[in-house]
Structure 1
Amino acid sequence: MLDRLSDTNRRAFLDGIRTLSPAVAATFSWGLVTGIAMAKSVLTVPQALGMSIAVYAGSSQLAVLPLFAAKLPIWTILLTAAMVNLRFVIFSAGLAPHFSYLPMWRRLVLGYFNGDIIYLMFAKRNFPTGFQPGKEAFFWGLAVTSWSSWQVSSIAGILLASLFPDDWGLELAGTLALLPLIVSAIATRSTLAAVGIASIVALLAFDLPYRIGLPIAVLAALAAGSIADAVIARVAPDRVRKPRAPAALPATREAPPGESAPTRPDTTRPDTRRSAR
Structure 2
Amino acid sequence: MLARFSPVDRAAFREGLRDYAPTFFALLSWGLVTGIAMNKSVLTVPQAIAMSLFVYAGSSQLAVLPLLAAKLPLWAVLLTAAMVNTRFVIFSAGLAPHFAYQPLWRRLVIGYFNGDVVYLLFQRKPFANGYVPGKEAYFWGMAAVSWIGWQISSIVGILLASLFPDNWGLSLAGTLALVPLLVAAVVNRSTLAAVGVAGIVALVAIDLPYRLALPLAVIAALGAGSVVDMLVERADLRRIRRHTGQGAPGQVPRVLDANEEKR
TM-score normalised per structure 2: 0.89
Measured after TM superposition, the shift of residue 236 of structure 1 is 3.8
Question: How far, CA to CA, are the matches of 1:162 and 1:180 in structure 2?
Answer: 31
Deviations along 1:251-273, one digit per CA (max 9) or x if unpaired, are xxxxxxxxxxxxxxxxxxxxxxx
Alignment match, 1:193: 193
Question: How far, CA to CA, are the matches of 1:24 and 1:238 in structure 2?
Answer: 45
Kept after mapping to 2: 8 A contact 1:79/1:210: no
Measured after TM superposition, the shift of residue 206 of structure 1 is 1.3
Question: How far, CA to CA, are the matches of 2:238 and 2:164 in structure 1?
Answer: 54
> Residues 195 and 233 of structure 1: is their aligned pair in 2 closer, same or farther, counting only changes over 3 Å?
same
Question: How far, CA to CA, are the matches of 1:70 and 1:193 in structure 2?
Answer: 38
Q: Are residue 7 (structure 1) and residue 7 (structure 2) matched?
A: yes
Kept after mapping to 2: 8 A contact 1:26/1:178: yes
Measured after TM superposition, the shift of residue 238 of structure 1 is 11
Alignment match, 1:92: 92
Measured after TM superposition, the shift of residue 166 of structure 1 is 1.2
Equivalent positions of 1:79-228 (< 5 A) are 79-228=79-228
Kept after mapping to 2: 8 A contact 1:101/1:130: yes
Question: How far, CA to CA, are the matches of 2:123 and 2:12 in structure 1?
Answer: 15
AA of the residue aligned to 2:33: V
Alignment match, 1:40: 40
> Residues 49 and 58 of structure 1: is their aligned pair in 2 closer, same or farther, counting only changes over 3 Å?
same
TM-score normalised per structure 1: 0.84
Deviations along 1:164-210, one digit per CA (max 9) or x if unpaired, are 11111111111111111101111111111110011011111112222
Question: How far, CA to CA, are the matches of 1:73 and 1:228 in structure 2?
Answer: 41
> Residues 162 and 137 of structure 1: is their aligned pair in 2 closer, same or farther, counting only changes over 3 Å?
same
Kept after mapping to 2: 8 A contact 1:97/1:130: yes
Question: How far, CA to CA, are the matches of 1:60 and 1:230 in structure 2?
Answer: 32
Helix, strand or coil for the counterpart of 2:111? Answer: helix
> For structure 1, which runs of at least 5 residues remain unmatched after alignment?
240-277
Equivalent pairs counted in the alignment come to 239
Alignment match, 2:259: none
